[in-house]
Structure 1
Amino acid sequence: MRTPITRVSITPIAFPDPPLLNSAGLHQPWALRSIVEVTAADGSVGLGESYGDAPHLELLGKVAPVLDGLDVFDLTGLRTRAAAAIGAADTPDRHGLTGPSSAAKTLARVVSPFEVALLDLQGQATGRPVWALLGGLVRDRVPFSGYLFYKWAAHPGAEPDDYGEALDPAGLVEQARRMVARYGFRSLKLKGGVLPPDDEIAAVEALREAFPEHPLRLDPNCAWTVETSVRVAEKTAGLLEYLEDPTPGLAGMAEVAAAVPMPLATNMCVVELGDLPEAVRRDSVQVVLADHHYWGGLTGSATLAAVCRTWGIGLSMHSNSHLGISLAAMVHLGAATPNLTYDADTHTPWQLGADVVTEPLSFVDGAVAVPHGPGLGVTLDRDALARMHADYLACGLRERDDTSYLRQFRPGFEKLRPRW
């Protein structure tokens, strides 16, 4: 029996974001997201979460009206209608931390929140959790990694957040201690590409001394040349679980991979399935970070996982600023993905308690227990949604731009890849 869609709504929201540094610049005071609600004829509502930048919102708005009457089980129809609605649109992000854009990647980003919402509806209709729709349970708990950032104590003119300043090894170690104490993370990742490489090597060494049993990762977002990447890898041999996107491009990554002792990971040079043949031929990467937000949803990410399994490539999950709907989707994907061989990334600690679901999933010993109720297993907090929408209207931001924001305080700053 068909279960047609009767209504789709998209609500742009904003929530406070700490002053986190990366190779592109500095996080602005507000993170932008969008909440998708898809209502079916039986009154059930499926939830999705996505980016909140104005160009992306415009494309989501083009897709929403063409989904009227679509069966919630028709994921092929979703992609077909979405492709017709947005045409050859290409809306790259301004920060460039997720690799090159294309019309295909734009379509994948646009389809994702609707696909998650439809899977949520399918689960509610069948009384099954989303992980069951993705192939079944392979783990009861999905482990995540603590995500460390160089950061200022506060945005200029604002009060410091609970994590305070972290601009040197001691500050990062203290940040990690707070995060591990609160969430129990069993592995740690540092967002690098911010300070000169020797300073970041010192940070890794300090983290290893403070956390001798925690796997460590370093992600400079293509801030280094091949030569610098090799030098850093040699200095951190035996310290890192993997080195993520040290240098731009599949060719550059292959040069580094041939010369270093640890695996290389990426979410910037393998961003479509079409990138994998060259990556395999060159042996450019040994770990790919999936992200359902830009791989076309949960089924697209499951396809990526299957291809990686075929070629013996490790798998983790990338994270951007996100709330509880996205976390739930990540947990269901992780629950059903046999070859999720590395702890997933999460920005949850950096949302500082903000969420849009009534009962956020919780971290215990660095992992989230897999929900067993129908669908995603989370419920929208409509009061929080209204507050965050009001913050969106008031904050004045309509597109994330880390580079321009940092230039307000460092006028000569340029986004360079590579920088060192």
Structure 2
Amino acid sequence: MKNFPKIKEINITPIAIVDPPLLNAAGLHAPYALRIIVELITDDNITGISEIPGTTDIEIALHECKNLIIGQDPFQTNKISDILIAHFGIDKMAERGLFPWDSRKLVHIFSAIEVACLDIVGKVINKPVVDLLGGKRRESVPFAAYLFYKYEGAGGKLAFETDPNAVGWAAARQKSALNPAEIVAQAQAMCKEFGFKSIKLKGGVFEPRQEVDAIFALREAFGENVPLRIDPNALWTVETSIKYGLEMEGIIEYLEDPCRGQDNMAAVRKALKTPLATNMCTTSFEDIPRSIQVGSEDIILSDHHFWGGLRASMTLTGVCQTFGRHLSMHSNSHLGISLAAMVHLGAAIPNFHYALDTHYPWQSDEVIKQGRFKFEDGAVAVPEGPGLGVELDKNALAKLHQNYLDCGITKRDDLIEIRKVIPDWEFKQTRW
């Protein structure tokens, strides 16, 4: 009988990637976003890779995993999951936090280990990860343009400077966008560069009237055939959500997390014909029963980093089908390893109705040998080759790790950055 590979080594490398000064409900993006690159190496020298959001706490926890995971069979992800749960316990819903991003620990750790294991398995059997998820339902996966209100600058050491020689999207990526006209210009440049066929606006930054006006300006500029969506990141009251939701009916394809909590979302959902989407009120399997009971959303925006991996996300698709929900995907500032995993998952999920989110156009760094992914008509083709279909660029990894060492950032904190611009700014769970 064939001896299957065992994990002999785990490399954990925190990196910092250039991130522009994008505004959101929690404040302002720092000049660098943190990611962690995980490499699992087997005793026959097959390497599996993954990428997750980075914090010092998650990095420390991943190092704790070494003694737990070394010697395990990467095919046995159920056993690996049981080992990790026995050591770390299970994340509590409250640990997600109030911010737009997810602060839980175990889901990040398991997604990092699982994706790297699936990359190994794919390489061993010479199959792409999508085949390990049941096979391709589509050859390419569509994404939406992801617009942000932003200050001038492109991130990194030049956070508030611009390159006067930049043109096209490179120039638009550096310009400020603080009003509807500038948001339209940003959308036009991004859609021209990447071919996106639908558009999302990150809201929760200015008072609702201004953000809704931006949606109407986008509708006027792009016409009826380009679906629009807006995400106030749960900062609106129920009353505000209904008021502006009614105003945007027939204009937006969905309204994402207008208010906070399943009960409030359910109240808004009953008042509107427009579907509601979430990556804030229903974010774990523990949340599902209450979600179904009260009817808090129509679309769950999954994220394999936050739901515990790719297979857990496939389980979620079954739950969504059973209870009449649609599934799309949330995004965070990420590079090509995460994008590759998202595309494999996006190619496998059934009933694909809504283009996925991605921050990828806002990033300029990359950590894979293939270079930056190409978008064709707003979509990314499923990577060819076994596993994830991408390989780690060790030189790029070293450079981005040095960025991490130099920048001094240890976790995401958008409050620190916004107070450099507006000293008395405070985060509010509900603002309007």
Band the TM-score falls in, shorter-chain normalisation: over 0.9
Whether the 8 Å CA contact 1:35–1:49 is kept in 2: the answer is yes
CA contact (8 A) 1:62 1:85 kept: no
Deviations 1:124-163 (A, max 9, x none): 0000000000001100010001100000012687313622
The 5 A counterparts of 1:224-303 are 224-303=236-315
Instruction: Read off the aligned partner of 1:57 and give its amino acid letter.
Output: E
Deviates more, 1:249-258 or 1:279-288: 279-288
Look up the match of 1:201. 212
Which residue is equivalent to 2:18? 16
Aligned position for 2:114: 115
Equivalences for 1:338-377 in 2 at 5 Å? Answer: 338-352=350-364, 354-359=365-370, 360-377=372-389
Q: CA-to-partner distance for each residue in 1:34-75, whole Å, 9 max, x for gaps?
A: 000000111110001011111111111111232111001010
**Is the contact made by 2:98 and 2:429 (CA closer than 8 Å) also made in structure 1?**
no
Q: Which runs of 5+ in 2 are unaligned?
A: 163-169
CA shift, 1:284, in A, is: 1.1
**Same amino acid, percent of matched pairs:** 47
Comparing 182-191 and 158-167, the one that deviates more: 158-167
Q: 1:236 to 1:12 in 2, by over 3 A?
A: same
2:210 paired with 1:210: no
Does structure 1 residue 106 correspond to structure 2 residue 105?
yes
Q: Tell me the secondary structure at the aligned position of residue 58 of structure 1.
A: helix
Amino acid at match of 1:64: K
Measure how far apart 1:191 and its partner are.
Answer: 0.3
Deviates more, 1:261-270 or 1:339-348: 339-348
SS of alignment partner, residue 293 of structure 1: helix
Equivalent runs, 1:1-400 vs 2, <5 Å: 1-87=3-89, 92=95, 96-98=99-101, 105-154=104-153, 158-160=160-162, 162=171, 163=173, 164-212=175-223, 213-352=225-364, 354-359=365-370, 360-400=372-412
Note the alpha carbon deviations across 1:96-135, whole angstroms, 9 max, x for none: 1146x6xxx5311211011000000000000000000000
How many Å separate the matches in 1 of 2:305 and 2:74?
19
Query: 5+ residue gaps in structure 1?
Result: none
Rounded to whole Å, the distance in 1 between the matches of 2:402 and 2:97 is: 24
Aligned residue in 2 for 1:418:
430
> Contact 1:185–1:367 at 8 Å: present in 2 too?
yes
Deviation at 1:189, TM superposition (A): 0.3
- Deviation of 1:93 (Å): 6.7
TM-score normalised by the chain length of structure 2: 0.93
Say how many residue pairs are matched.
415
Contact 2:21 2:159 in 1 (8 A): no
Q: Is the 8 A contact 1:95 1:402 kept in 2?
A: no
Task: Report if the CA contact (8 A) 1:264-1:287 is conserved.
Answer: yes
1:146-187 deviations in Å (ceiling 9; x for gaps): 100000012687313622110000110010011001100000
Q: Partners of 1:179 and 1:157 in 2: how far apart? A: 20
Question: Taking structure 1 as reference, are residues 89 and 288 closer, same or farther at Cα in structure 2, changes over 3 Å only?
Answer: closer
Question: What CA distance in whole angstroms lies between the structure 1 residues aligned with 2:159 and 2:42?
Answer: 46
**Root-mean-square deviation (CA), in Å?**
1.6
Q: Whole-Å Cα distance in 2 between the matches of residues 384 and 341 of structure 1?
A: 36
